[in-house]
């Protein structure tokens, strides 16, 4: 196994960008909130994913290809290969973060089994191209061959970026070379129905130094939007983002994960080719999508049908799809835009999405997951057997595994690499975009070595302490979350600092032991939806720090009519430590005679009660419950 230290870095490393991302060798999560999440991933989620994929035959598929017996014996839908590859990526990041002999053994065994299924010309997929199967690339709309290849290539990028050029990287090189031959300028003029190959090839080109991989990614981006994919009665060209070229679109549309992966690849291509117009197009699409098609949790995708975006302001909480994978893809896109522009709004959305949408997926023990993420559960969830495969769970309790289990492995690779989203560097200094217990050791473009220790109890507490471990002159920039702007305070070695704008920026020579303390206000606050969102008109939500809070029925006595609870926005919210409570009242309405419509109803109060609010990401960890994020507000009448 040869070291490849020149390729060290995180999931994204542009050749040139306004901000340089720090890899796992430069920033490490040292404990605290995110340390607990990474420990859960290492101790539970990785093994859980491997157990299920072994149990139901998804790994065995590779063995059957290798021994020539695959035929009709293949297990799972066409794209389950990608789950094995995402698990390999998670293992690679985890081995770079905290290597253990047992994880190394599991990783190497899995890589050998995958490599055994690769054809001599580099092609690799267990559902096509073998005796008794459909031909290669015979169903680009739904076959997911290039999508799966993209996830394998991204796993190889993780291995390279953590300092290893091994068998997995060799498999990825041969597969990428095959794709370049098959789909290059003199090959098939086609694209994959599910984008993913685009960011994968761009990053693989950066990690290996092979220009042809990035050029192939750019060619796939240029081909998209010319209606080459076959539509169906229920999936038009917009579902595949094949209706208009990427640079001409005004908003993200269609299947949410596909749209976000494609946009991530477009930013990669724009960055590497200096295509300012393409970058501006994606920025424009992000802006409108966030302002009109994104849930308060950062979730994206409001329609269960086709897992897709709705129209502007179509954001029903009780029918939110808000797929976990779409949240992860949103983080991927926002991170790339942050690196290119340095604008805080992208880091703001990353924080919102990670704390609420993404972390809602895994159960507290890391052995069950949400696929979609409703914001309003009307009925009690159903207890699911923990040893049975589930159909795609749309909104109930978390399931141990799904027939389509893209989300658990996506969570695994994200948590294993999440530290890479926290900080960046540039010529003059270091930028801190997210808060956690971090150890940072890097160099600025000016050649200054910067060593920082960041410690905090965030999101429980708003105090963030940054200690400079080695004397150096540099600029330290610390993001101020939008809810704290104008309210945060800070000091440097006891001297009060003025805090204004998106970032607190300090340029000075810091001595060893020099300390910056940032204090963020953590009082709970009411949040009102846009009046254009019909489904939430007349309601309010509650946030504390970066977390969206919710009401959960397990916190109420039996017999309380959960759907008739309402909040008086004029009454103060109460916080005790990290707990937040609200005073609610119970609406009393006359039951309708006939249709539930008529004259304006008379609303009476049937008493009041105090209620504890739960962080949305933690809901359904205490058994079946009803839940709502948006709480009806008391209507004042003259």
User: What's the whole-number mean pLDDT along residues 205-215?
Assistant: 97
**Whether 144 contacts 194, CB under 8 Å:** yes
Q: What is the pLDDT of residue 7?
A: 61
Cα dihedral angle (50, 396, 321, 434), rounded to 10 degrees? Answer: -60
Q: What is the pLDDT of residue 637?
A: 54
Q: Do 338 and 271 belong to one domain?
A: yes
Q: What is the pLDDT of residue 5?
A: 36
* 638 — pLDDT class (breaks 50, 70, 90): very low
Q: Which of 421, 451, 476 is the last residue of a domain?
A: 421
Query: By percentage, how much of the chain surpasses pLDDT 70?
Result: 98
Q: Tell me the pLDDT of the chain averaged across its residues.
A: 94
CATH code assigned at 81: 1.50.10
Evaluate if residue 602 carries a pLDDT over 90. no
Q: Examine residue 354 and state whether it is found in any structural domain, yes or no.
A: yes
Can you count the helices (H) and strands (E) in the chain? 14, 22
**SS3 (DSSP) at 115:** helix
Residue 343 annotated in active site: no
Q: Are residues 88 and 135 in the same domain?
A: yes
My answer on whether 510 and 582 are in the same domain is no
Concatenated DSSP letters for 333-394? HHHHHHHHH--HHHHHHHHHIIIIIITTSB-TTSS-B-SS--SEE-S------TTS-B----
- Closest C-alpha among 160, 182, 270, 169 to residue 222: 270
Condensed to tens digits (0 to 9), the pLDDT of residues 372-395 reads: 999 999 998 878 888 888 876 655
CA angle in degrees (0–180, nearest 5) for 164-327-482: 105
pLDDT attached to residue 35: 98
Considering the chain, what percentage of its residues have pLDDT values greater than 90? 86
Rg (CA), the chain: 25
Q: Nearest-CA neighbor of 84 among 139, 154, 24?
A: 154
Mean pLDDT to the nearest integer, 230-245: 93
Domain for residue 86, yes or no? yes
* Residue 638 resides in a domain: no
CA–CA gap between residue 400 and residue 388 (Å, rounded): 8
The span from the CA of 464 to the CA of 469, in Å, is 16
* Inside any domain, residue 637: no
Please check whether residues 364 and 457 belong to one and the same domain: no
**60 within a domain of the structure (yes/no):** yes
Residue 467's SS3 state is strand
For residue 296, pLDDT over 90 is answered with yes
Q: 402 - beta bridge partners?
A: 390
Residues 445 and 562 in one domain: no
- Range from 101-105, 233-237, 548-552 carrying the lowest mean pLDDT: 233-237
Q: Note the pLDDT of residue 444.
A: 92
Please check whether residues 408 and 540 belong to one and the same domain: no
DSSP symbols for 439-455: EEEEE-TTS-EEEEEEE
pLDDT of residue 6: 46
Give the mean pLDDT of 471-491. Answer: 97
CA-CA distance, 93 to 160, in Å (whole number)? 10
pLDDT at 136 exceeding the cut of 70: yes
Are the beta carbons of 432 and 486 closer than 8 angstroms? no
Least confidently predicted of 376-385, 419-428, 601-610: 601-610
pLDDT at 3 exceeding the cut of 60: no
Residue 446: per-residue pLDDT: 86
- Please tell me the predicted confidence (pLDDT) of residue 427: 95
56-70 tens-digit pLDDT: 999 999 999 999 999
Confirm whether 239 is domain-assigned: yes
Q: Are 180 and 113 in contact (CB under 8 A)?
A: no
pLDDT of residue 281: 98
From residue 297, alpha-carbon distances to 313, 317, 375, 566 in Å are 15, 10, 9, 21
Domain count, the chain: 3
Whole-angstrom Cα distance, residue 503 to residue 343? 10
Q: Give the closest residue to 87 by CA, choosing from 563, 414, 543.
A: 414
Among 475, 497, 519, where does a domain finish? 519
Mean pLDDT throughout 15-38? 96
Tell me, yes or no, if 406 is annotated catalytic.
yes
Q: Is 313 among the domain residues?
A: yes
Report yes or no: 15 and 45 within 8 Å, Cβ to Cβ.
Answer: no
Give the residue from 247, 253, 254 showing the smallest Cα distance to 226: 247
The answer to whether residues 511 and 551 belong to one domain is no
Residue that finishes a domain, picked among 386, 421, 456: 421
- Please check whether residues 16 and 144 belong to one and the same domain: yes
Residue pLDDT, tens place only, 142-184: 999 999 999 999 999 999 999 999 999 999 999 999 999 999 9
SS3 content of the chain, % helix, strand, coil (to 5): 35, 20, 45
Residue 437: pLDDT over 50: yes
- Domain range for residue 463? 423-519
Do 392 and 479 belong together in one domain?
no
Which of 180, 192, 325, 406 is labelled catalytic?
406
CATH code of 478's domain: 2.60.40
Q: Mind listing the pLDDT tens digit for each residue in 78-121?
A: 999 999 999 999 999 999 999 999 999 999 999 999 999 999 99
Catalytic residue among 307, 351, 543, 566: 307
Q: What is the pTM of this model?
A: 0.96
Determine the average pLDDT of the residues in 339-344.
Answer: 98
Looking at the structure, tell me whether residues 468 and 612 fall in a common domain: no
Q: Which residue has the higher pLDDT, 543 or 232?
A: 543
| Position 591 in a domain | yes
Distance between CA atoms of residues 544 and 186, nearest Å? 55
User: Is residue 396 predicted with pLDDT exceeding 80?
Assistant: no
Q: How far apart are CA 569 and CA 588, in angstroms?
A: 19
Residues 413 and 437 grouped into a single domain: no
Q: Are residues 214 and 328 in the same domain?
A: yes
């Amino acid at each position: 196994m040869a070291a490849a230290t020149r390729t060290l870095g995180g999931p994204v490393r542009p050749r040139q960008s306004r901000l340089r991302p720090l890899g796992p060798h430069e920033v490490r999560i040292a404990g605290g909130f995110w340390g607990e999440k990474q420990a859960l991933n290492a101790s539970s989620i990785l093994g859980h994913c491997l157990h299920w994929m072994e149990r139901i035959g998804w790994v065995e598929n590779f063995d059957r290809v290798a021994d020539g017996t695959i035929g009709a014996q293949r297990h799972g839908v066409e794209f389950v290969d990608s789950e094995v590859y995402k698990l390999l990526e998670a293992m690679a990041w985890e081995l770079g973060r905290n290597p253990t002999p047992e994880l190394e053994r599991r990783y190497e065994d899995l890589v050998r089994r995958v490599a055994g299924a690769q054809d001599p010309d580099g092609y690799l997929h267990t559902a096509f191209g073998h005796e008794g199967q459909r031909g290669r690339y015979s169903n680009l709309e739904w076959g997911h061959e290039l999508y799966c290849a993209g996830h394998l290539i991204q796993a190889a990028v993780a291995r390279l970026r953590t300092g290893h050029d091994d068998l997995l990287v060799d498999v990825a090189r041969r597969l990428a070379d095959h794709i370049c031959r098959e789909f290059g300028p003199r090959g098939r003029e086609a694209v994959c129905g599910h984008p993913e190959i685009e960011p994968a090839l761009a990053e693989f080109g950066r990690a290996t130094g092979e220009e042809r991989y990035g050029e192939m990614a750019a060619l796939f981006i240029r081909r998209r939007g010319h209606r080459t994919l076959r539509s169906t009665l229920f999936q038009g060209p917009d579902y595949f983002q094949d209706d208009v070229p990427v640079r001409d679109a005004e908003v993200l549309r269609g299947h949410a994960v596909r749209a976000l992966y494609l946009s991530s690849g477009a930013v990669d291509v724009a960055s590497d080719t200096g295509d300012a117009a393409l970058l501006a197009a994606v920025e424009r699409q992000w802006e409108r999508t966030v302002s009109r098609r994104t849930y308060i949790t950062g979730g994206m995708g409001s329609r269960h049908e086709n897992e897709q975006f709705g129209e502007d302001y179509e954001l029903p909480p009780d029918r939110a799809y808000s797929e976990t994978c779409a949240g992860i893809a949103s983080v991927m896109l926002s991170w790339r835009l942050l690196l290119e522009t340095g604008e805080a709004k992208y880091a703001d959305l990353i924080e919102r999405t990670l704390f609420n949408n993404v972390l809602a997926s895994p159960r507290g023990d890391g052995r069950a997951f949400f696929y979609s993420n409703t914001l309003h559960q009307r009925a009690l969830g159903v207890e699911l057997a923990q040893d049975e495969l589930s159909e795609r769970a749309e909104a109930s309790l978390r399931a141990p595994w799904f027939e389509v289990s893209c989300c658990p492995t996506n969570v695994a690779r994200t948590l294993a690499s999440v530290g890479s989203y926290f900080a960046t560097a540039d010529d003059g200094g270091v930028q801190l975009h997210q808060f956690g217990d971090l150890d940072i050791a890097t160099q600025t473009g000016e050649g200054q070595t910067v060593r920082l220790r960041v410690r905090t109890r965030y999101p429980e507490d708003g105090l963030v302490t940054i200690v400079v471990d080695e004397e150096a002159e540099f600029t330290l920039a610390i993001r101020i979350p939008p809810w704290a702007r104008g309210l945060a305070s800070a000091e440097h070695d006891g001297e009060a600092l003025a805090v204004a704008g998106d970032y607190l920026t300090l340029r000075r020579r810091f001595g060893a032991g020099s300390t910056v303390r940032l204090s963020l206000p953590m009082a709970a606050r009411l949040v009102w939806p846009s009046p254009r969102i019909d489904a939430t008109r007349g309601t309010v939500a509650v946030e504390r720090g970066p977390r969206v809070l919710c009401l959960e029925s397990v916190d109420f006595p039996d017999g309380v009519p959960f759907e008739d609870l309402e909040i008086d926005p004029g009454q103060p919210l109460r916080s005790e430590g990290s707990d937040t409570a609200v005073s609610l009242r119970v609406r009393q309405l006359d039951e309708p005679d006939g249709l539930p419509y008529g004259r304006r109803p008379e609303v009476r109060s049937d008493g009041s009660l105090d209620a504890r609010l739960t962080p949305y990401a933690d809901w359904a960890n205490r058994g079946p419950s009803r839940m709502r994020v948006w709480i009806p507000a008391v209507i004042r009448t003259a």
